[in-house]
Structure 1
Amino acid sequence: MKRYCPNLFSYTRRQSDPIRIGSHLVLGGDAPVVVQSMTTTNTADVEASARQVMRLAAAGAEMVRLTAPGRTEAERLLTIRRRIEEQECYVPLVADIHFNPQVALIAAQYVSKVRINPGNFIDRRATFKHLEYTDEEYAAELERLRVQLTALIEVCKYYNTVIRIGVNHGSLSDRIMSRYGDTTDGMVESAMEFLRVCRAEGYDRVVISMKSSNTRVMVEAYRKLVVRMDEEGMRYPLHLGVTEAGEGEDGRIRSAVGIGALLADGIGDTIRVSLTEAPENEIAPARILADYFKGREVHNYIPVDDDPLPYDPYNYSRRATTAVQHRGKTIGGGMPPVVVGDRAAGADFAPEDFPLTTPGQAMRGADREKGWIACTLEHLTYEFLEWLEKHPERILVLVSENVHWVGEIRACFVQLMRHGVANPVVVSRCYGEKSLERLQLHAAADFGALLIDGFGDGIWIVNEVFETIYDEDAQGKPVRTERDATPEFDLTSLSFSILQAARARISRTEIISCPGCGRTLFELQEAARAVKERFGHYPGLKIAVMGCIVNGPGEMADADFGYVGSGNGLVTLYKGKEVVERNIPQEGALERLEQLIRGTSG
């Protein structure tokens, strides 16, 4: 099986070719992961856009993207750049281009990087109808692509501008879907068509992204892209992101599941955490994620060979396990993963519901209550694995203290699968976080990386914080004591959010919402919050809230209903990909959406 990273159990960063963006920023190679964001202002408003760019730079953004839907906005990019440089702000600017190659030619003269979308750079807007292309017609379309892209490459060569080829699952072209369907293979081919033109033209200042609101799709697409690029000798840097991630806890966790699953394997040179919030709020979680994987190369050796793998990392499937009954609930056997936590908050089990035992006690028969067996990779000896095969009813709890936690827990699953052990597994990790945001991001990155590959019949998140207090006794001698300073975080809600973000267990409404940009013509953040408040109690229902039509119709394929901006204060409602009502004033759109949902649900 072809690899997307050198070793699944030994952390190393993917070696991309470094490129310079702007006067000082290096992306790729051995450079640290770069954090970026995007403005939400109208780019034609120079003063507002310049102020927001500077706020983002002050917050820690190392690149800032602005939308350029037309010539006016593209021309204003020069003025915005001059305005921020007057204030000694030199953060590289990126122009976001859709539908209009001519606008890209203008913007490329003024910014450090231009993002183009292969789904709509030269192809017309997707109709989502199956179109037939003969080989000759398909080749003619590729030639048209080459001509348009070559024109942009020539401008970028002259002005030393970088191109990001930004593929979005929600905006693949009809041409690509006619050959590959709405698939990750289609996403990869969409990128490769553009990359081959760049290489043929001797242009290597390229970055690629493969975004989706579905974390499984996003991770699978990046993995497949890395394999394809390796096959063709390409080492371009990668931009990671989960598009339309949402807001609040949900947005952060969904982003961390997708981005973290890739960073855990050393993939990714720059990241954006897209939130339906003020763009400044994106910087801190992105930096926390990037920093979480710093220094991971130095970890305890994991003595497991990753060839051959007993699972397919390019096609999702759950690890097959035995169904085991415990306190009236089923663990394993294809059932959704259980949550260990606070039963009053909805957890399936609480820690007091089961005694923990060791592999040694279990094999000796010394645990009369037949508790859950806590074990590490070191415990998975040939003797213990043989014993487990004879006792498929016993539940395992996998733990690790390795810095490369994902690698070691993954190695445990591989060992179990190679030996045909089908016991259900609950994965557990103990954190020591005082910050809820850090805990959310770290736990989502860790557990999400495993759930994406179908590993785990349950998750158990623990957070313990102890503080050391120095004092004096009655004789004036120094005394050191420890006290429990664990914050009261809702770990059960966090667990369910991670399972939902990884598509492992759906327990609430899924709100897919974009972060907004200069194209957004209605109050997106307010709308996303209102939709979540009103419809958050429909488990399994998916609603997409989109600021404009760039990805809107495509993301409808993954949603039951869509609420998409279509004009100044106007909204178009979708059911799946089909338009139900166009250009409704935003004031009444929520009520109409509720009528549609109630009508469907009866």
Structure 2
Amino acid sequence: MSLQQINSCQSLPAHSQQQRFSKRPLKAPGAATIDAPSAATSSQKTLPKYCEHIYKTVRRPTRTIMVGKVPIGSEHPVALQTMTTTDTRNIAATVEQVKRCADAGADIVRITVQGKKEAYACHEIREQLFKDRYDTPLVADIHFQPAVAMLVADAFEKIRINPGNFADGRKTFKTITYEDPADFVAEQEIIRELFTPLVEKCKSLGRAMRIGTNHGSLSARILSYYGDTPRGMVESAFEFANICRDHDYHNFLFSMKASNPLVMVQAYRLLSEEMYAHKWDYPLHLGVTEAGEGEDGRMKSAIGIGSLLMDGLGDTIRISLTEDPELEIVPGRQLRNMAADACRCGLGVEPFQERWRDSHDYARRVTRLPEQKDGDVVDYRGLLHRDGSVLSALSMQDLEAAEGTYKRLGAKLVVGMPFKDIATSDTLLMPTVPSRDDAAGRRALKRLQDVGVHVIAPAGELRRDNLPHAVALMPLREAVAAHRSPEGLQLPEGSGRLVVSIDGTESEDEVAALQSTGAVMALLNTAEGVSRVHASRRVFDWLRTHEDDTPIIHHKVFSTGMSREEMAIVLGTEAGALLVDGLGDGALVECEGEDVGFLRTLAFGLLQGCRLRNTKTEYVSCPSCGRTLFDLQEVTEQIRVRTGHLPGVSIAIMGCIVNGPGEMADADFGYVGGAPGKIDLYVGKEVGGAPAHPSAPTECL
């Protein structure tokens, strides 16, 4: 797939594709445009540089821009941002919320500015905060209104503009046909005419600017020419950046936000690659839009933001949660600290040449699922799920209360007996197995095995206390040594399959020997002090080089005492950074003393956040702002209560029309604030009938 045909979550209509021209590449003169075939093909690839190193975390060098007193750039800590949810015209409420955010640790606070009334209110907000001795820089969030941006630039330290609607207005899905590419380029003059006054004003006042492209609000012009793609997002931002540069204004940064973490990651990588090619060094603001709330919102944010931070990309971040804005700071700080620790410790592995991973195009690694053999008594095909597997670790204590454990594993109970459900753990890991005289423990496991939940246990345990049909677990090095011994690899009696464990410190020769062991999967749990992201990339690269299609499960063991919120952040960052590239076939999450049900749910949340296995209703809910036309948190909870039983269904809950119709492109249904007192209900991208009244959201939806 060519770089000009970057993977999209939304294809163009056929007639529109036929009208597209060869696009003007963003590449700087002399920079090569490399064809990047799918990871499923046999061709090695050399892609342009998008980060400093693929084998360790090193921040991409960026210039310092000033947002009031706050410096943003690679020489400074990653700045934390959030956004108010109050009505901007309610000056007192907005001032108090900014104070709470600042007290919580926000470096910068953004405020929505819809019109002139809000712009005038911003002057009073800024003045009152100064009086109260709060000098936290404020950002004006501008959509649709160039004139409003000019007004508020006198008060706030930074202006955020959205290239998708600064000149083009409200989002439409109209397809524009350009008979001549020159017509597309000519329309840039309209943008230049509207945008130049703001550039000149920001330059004269020392204001900063964010050129913030949103996947959900690309203009009809960009959509028609580039499609709903990362390429379109980058091209849209570059049009505005070139105007800034033409006026020698450089106090700006970029963002490439999307509600789909895979699209978001691809867009930022492409943007960074283009800046390397152009020798630009503008900072990056990272964010996943409409991430949602709770562990799911933190997980989705970590998958997108954390993945990029581990590549050294990102100079300021905002976690967009459907919660009070000050609550976004803690997970943001956790992500920042993870990235800072990785940079400070030089976290990574020995340099290696990456030959297969495609940073532009998502293609899940092709693997070989377990198959049946002649003489098999049980069906081993259920060890793994084709859309991504969740494994759960059980202790002997868990088996003592069998019915409760069945429920925590996601099984249905019928007269006390377990049955697999849509979100039941696929396979269990038992570090210790019940002894032969522990009838209750063995009965509890057999009931799970009888309904297709398999059991993995260390080979030594199974030799000591044989458990019929269990799967033996051995470290890779031990399994390879046994395979090469005169006796060969001997599995414990009654064990029909082998699983190996990998810790990321193996050599290429050792990884190359994996396939010879006949293992049906490998559990990848990196050793202490080894970077999971970089070591795992190396393992996957070696596997691909040696044409090994063994499934790999990301195995994460958390230390006791870590909060659930932090677990979501760490798992989303470390495993999500790999799954967004199609590297991995599932997750096993362990934490001594933590509820097995929570750990299972966390693993399923990771898979769903990475667009793998869908086991619960998907909510795309915006974080609320001053534009929100209803109580977003309350309505979201009402809808969640009524629709939480619909796995496979995606519901978008959007406070207004700025991103609503666009970011809900993947949603089956949408609930969008269309105007004060009116709610637009969507089926796909189409408004479904008359506007609904916000007093009865769940019934209307």
TM-score by length of 1: 0.91
Per-residue CA deviation, residues 115-139 of structure 1 (Å, 9 max, x unaligned), is 0000000013232121113334322
The letter for the 1-side match of 2:57 is: Y
**Offset at 1:391?**
4.5
Query: 1-side partners of 2:109 and 2:329: how far apart?
Result: 11
Unaligned runs of at least 5 residues, structure 2: 1-46, 373-377, 394-405, 411-423, 431-454, 458-472, 483-488
2:209 touches 2:252 (CA, 8 Å); kept in 1?
yes
Matches within 5 A, 1:52-63: 52-63=97-108
The letter for the 1-side match of 2:78 is: V
Query: 2-side partners of 1:532 and 1:486: how far apart?
Result: 25
Query: Counterpart in 1 of 2:476?
Result: 359
State yes or no: 1:51 paired with 2:179: no
3-state secondary structure, aligned to 2:109: strand
Q: 1:257 to 1:57 in 2, by over 3 A?
A: same
Query: Counterpart in 2 of 1:408?
Result: 535
Q: 1:529 to 1:58 in 2, by over 3 A?
A: same
Query: Counterpart in 2 of 1:553?
Result: 661
The letter for the 2-side match of 1:302 is: V
Query: Counterpart in 1 of 2:334?
Result: 288
Per-residue CA deviation, residues 32-81 of structure 1 (Å, 9 max, x unaligned), is 11111000111111111111111110111110000110011112111101
Query: Counterpart in 2 of 1:185?
Result: 231
**Offset at 1:418?**
1.3
**Offset at 1:10?**
1.6
Query: Counterpart in 2 of 1:257?
Result: 303
Per-residue CA deviation, residues 543-584 of structure 1 (Å, 9 max, x unaligned), is 100000001111232111110012233211011111113432
Give the one of 4, 12, 28 matched to 2:73. Answer: 28
Query: 2-side partners of 1:330 and 1:425: how far apart?
Result: 15
Query: Counterpart in 1 of 2:176?
Result: 131
Q: 1:108 to 1:455 in 2, by over 3 A?
A: same
Query: Counterpart in 1 of 2:33?
Result: none
**Offset at 1:427?**
1.5
The letter for the 2-side match of 1:544 is: A
Q: 1:331 to 1:61 in 2, by over 3 A?
A: farther
Per-residue CA deviation, residues 372-403 of structure 1 (Å, 9 max, x unaligned), is 11122333442x44433345553211121235
Query: 2-side partners of 1:537 and 1:488: how far apart?
Result: 21
State yes or no: 1:420 paired with 2:547: yes
Query: Counterpart in 1 of 2:566?
Result: 438
**Offset at 1:288?**
1.1
Query: Counterpart in 1 of 2:428?
Result: 350
Query: Counterpart in 2 of 1:448?
Result: 576
Q: 1:386 to 1:54 in 2, by over 3 A?
A: closer
2:348 touches 2:531 (CA, 8 Å); kept in 1?
no
Query: Counterpart in 2 of 1:114?
Result: 159
Per-residue CA deviation, residues 97-155 of structure 1 (Å, 9 max, x unaligned), is 00011111111111010000000000132321211133343222101111221110111
State yes or no: 1:461 paired with 2:589: yes
Per-residue CA deviation, residues 505-555 of structure 1 (Å, 9 max, x unaligned), is 111110000011111121111111111111111111111000000011112
1:39 touches 1:279 (CA, 8 Å); kept in 2?
yes
2:299 touches 2:572 (CA, 8 Å); kept in 1?
yes
Matches within 5 A, 1:129-278: 129-133=174-178, 134-278=180-324
The letter for the 2-side match of 1:387 is: A
Q: 1:329 to 1:440 in 2, by over 3 A?
A: farther
3-state secondary structure, aligned to 2:81: strand
Give the one of 391, 396, 400 matched to 1:340. Answer: 391
State yes or no: 1:306 paired with 2:353: yes
Per-residue CA deviation, residues 201-229 of structure 1 (Å, 9 max, x unaligned), is 11101111111110100001000010111
Q: 1:329 to 1:78 in 2, by over 3 A?
A: farther
Q: 1:279 to 1:559 in 2, by over 3 A?
A: same
Q: What is the number of equivalent residue pairs in this alignment?
A: 570
1:93 touches 1:112 (CA, 8 Å); kept in 2?
yes
1:94 touches 1:111 (CA, 8 Å); kept in 2?
yes
**Offset at 1:431?**
1.4
1:388 touches 1:394 (CA, 8 Å); kept in 2?
no
2:555 touches 2:589 (CA, 8 Å); kept in 1?
yes
Query: 1-side partners of 2:532 and 2:134: how far apart?
Result: 39
**Offset at 1:173?**
0.3
Query: 2-side partners of 1:422 and 1:577: how far apart?
Result: 39
3-state secondary structure, aligned to 2:575: helix
2:500 touches 2:519 (CA, 8 Å); kept in 1?
no
Larger Rg: 2
Q: 1:415 to 1:519 in 2, by over 3 A?
A: same
1:549 touches 1:566 (CA, 8 Å); kept in 2?
yes
3-state secondary structure, aligned to 1:583: coil
1:402 touches 1:408 (CA, 8 Å); kept in 2?
no
Query: 2-side partners of 1:39 and 1:380: how far apart?
Result: 50
State yes or no: 1:316 paired with 2:355: no
Query: 2-side partners of 1:316 and 1:332: how far apart?
Result: 25
The letter for the 2-side match of 1:412 is: V
1:7 touches 1:306 (CA, 8 Å); kept in 2?
no
The letter for the 1-side match of 2:367 is: T
1:571 touches 1:586 (CA, 8 Å); kept in 2?
yes
2:652 touches 2:669 (CA, 8 Å); kept in 1?
yes
Query: Counterpart in 1 of 2:501?
Result: 374
3-state secondary structure, aligned to 2:159: strand
**Offset at 1:293?**
1.6
State yes or no: 1:388 paired with 2:435: no
Q: 1:403 to 1:31 in 2, by over 3 A?
A: farther
3-state secondary structure, aligned to 1:209: strand
2:391 touches 2:426 (CA, 8 Å); kept in 1?
yes
1:322 touches 1:333 (CA, 8 Å); kept in 2?
no
Query: 2-side partners of 1:186 and 1:174: how far apart?
Result: 11
3-state secondary structure, aligned to 1:413: helix
Moved more, 432-441 or 296-305: 296-305
State yes or no: 1:499 paired with 2:607: yes
Query: Counterpart in 1 of 2:450?
Result: none
Unaligned runs of at least 5 residues, structure 1: 465-484, 594-602
Sequence identity percentage = 41
Query: 2-side partners of 1:553 and 1:488: how far apart?
Result: 38
The letter for the 1-side match of 2:130 is: E
2:113 touches 2:141 (CA, 8 Å); kept in 1?
yes
Query: 1-side partners of 2:144 and 2:628: how far apart?
Result: 16
Query: 2-side partners of 1:295 and 1:95: how far apart?
Result: 32
Query: Counterpart in 2 of 1:469?
Result: none
TM-score by length of 2: 0.79
Query: 2-side partners of 1:153 and 1:587: how far apart?
Result: 43
The letter for the 2-side match of 1:336 is: D
